[in-house]
Structure 1
């Protein structure tokens, strides 16, 4: 997976002078996919990591491109161009951008294993992610930090792009589920929060240096007048509380396993894989020790 991950990024000229081979390799993105999708086939894991690679490079593109820095409206315009590919209506000029060409490759392969109902859901998830990116850019420009944990979580559930990994469970495992179950919806939200909070904890040092405001610890420090140490300690409490909630919901759902269809049961198991896999990957990835720009999405 690591070899495929690197070769795909090189194929589409995504690794540049600002994102060196060493920085890319020590991030261990291929290992991340093995951790969070341990039961998927190799071919489908390749598709998943190529998509996540694309997400990482989009983030880098928005952060370091000089004519976008501090310009939320321009960022929004660029992200909307990527949406035209997902909407199957791209303009020819967009393919002058290597990131757009890479997305075209991934999207063409995704369409082969998905139906239109899934694609509509996926487009909506990406659209919410792009909206959150725009909002964060506005907040960063104005140094505006969310006033409460609740306000922060509402933004972060989209800005982390974690829901894209949840969307991918169905095509990667060849299953189809209904999202009408309220307990399942709660489980997805708790899993999303846990992954994003863990990411905030591990990326804190870089984000303090770079003036980011989309971090639970920064929000806690401002909204509760905590010291940095107090904010970190309370963030750990929130992380542990989310894990307790995840366990409680999974236990309740599994009590009704005989009544639950097999696909939903598989989906729940993979949600837990994503939470646990993401945590262990954060502990070993060099992403947070290198001068690496791949840092913001909830799964990276």
Structure 2
């Protein structure tokens, strides 16, 4: 997976400099996909890691590009250029003007082969919400605005973390179709929060240095007037609480096991794989080494 991940990024010229090449390999995106999708076939894992590759490069572009820093409107213009690809608007003149756009076109063309229009509509909406959150975060960073409460922050973070895209991928990668209900939605929200809070902890040093506001610890310091240590400790409490809530929902669903179809059961297990896999990947990925000035997500 690591070999494929690297070769795909090179093929579409997403890696161009030696330092970026080293940082990319230290990130271990291929290992991430093996962790979070342990039962998926190699071919479909390749599709997943290529999409994640693209997503991480978009994140880096928004965070690191000097022409975009401090300019939320330019970030919005950039992100909007990707939408025609997902809308299958091949007549748009913006589609093939950059390597990152061509890379998305490659992933999307392969993804369409294993999905239907209902799923693609849902996925487009998830990506659109992610783009909106990126713009909002850029605006908040530029204006030094921090969400006033944990609840306000969570509403933004559930989209800005792009975690829902990995949840969306479960169905086509496993070849299943999910029937949603309130318990499943709650489970998805709790899993999303857990993954994002873990990410906030591991990216904290970098984000404090760069003035980022999209971090639960930054919000806790502001809203609760906590010291940095107190905010970190409370963030850990929130992470543990989310894990308890995840367990409660899963136990509740298991009590009604006879009413859960096989696809729903597979989806629940896949959500748990993503939570656990993401946690272990954060522990070993070089993406969060402050000395390398790596980006978030």
TM bucket (normalised to shorter chain) is over 0.9
Is the 2:63–2:295 Cα contact (8 Å) retained in structure 1?
no
Cα deviation for residue 18 of structure 1 reads: 7.6
1:155 aligns with 156
Give distance in 1, aligned partners of 2:141 and 2:95: 27
Is the 1:149–1:220 Cα contact (8 Å) retained in structure 2?
yes
Please list every run of 5 or more consecutive structure 2 residues that lacks an aligned counterpart in the other structure.
Answer: none
Give distance in 2, aligned partners of 1:11 and 1:125: 27
1:127 aligns with 128
1:213 is paired with a residue whose SS is: coil
Alignment of 1:224-263 (within 5 A): 224-263=224-263
2:59 aligns with 59
Alignment of 1:130-141 (within 5 A): 130-141=131-142
Please list every run of 5 or more consecutive structure 1 residues that lacks an aligned counterpart in the other structure.
Answer: none
Normalising to structure 2: TM-score of the pair? Answer: 0.97
Give distance in 2, aligned partners of 1:131 and 1:152: 14
1:268 aligns with 268
Alignment of 1:66-145 (within 5 A): 66-90=66-90, 91-145=92-146
Q: Deviations over 1:204-258 (max 9, x none)?
A: 0000011110000000011101000000000000000000000010011011112
Cα deviation for residue 295 of structure 1 reads: 3.2
Normalising to structure 1: TM-score of the pair? Answer: 0.96
1:89 is paired with a residue whose SS is: coil
Q: Deviations over 1:142-183 (max 9, x none)?
A: 01000000000000000000000000000000000122x101
Alignment of 1:37-52 (within 5 A): 37-52=37-52
Residues matched between the structures, number = 296
Cα deviation for residue 16 of structure 1 reads: 2.4
Give distance in 1, aligned partners of 2:140 and 2:229: 24
Cα deviation for residue 272 of structure 1 reads: 0.3
Cα deviation for residue 271 of structure 1 reads: 0.2
2:198 aligns with 198
1:189 aligns with 189
Is the 2:82–2:101 Cα contact (8 Å) retained in structure 1?
yes
Q: Deviations over 1:83-119 (max 9, x none)?
A: 1100011423431211000000000000000000000
Cα deviation for residue 66 of structure 1 reads: 2.2
Is the 2:85–2:95 Cα contact (8 Å) retained in structure 1?
no
Instruction: Provide closer, same or farther for how the CA distance between residues 19 and 71 of structure 1 changes in structure 2, counting only shifts above 3 A.
Output: farther
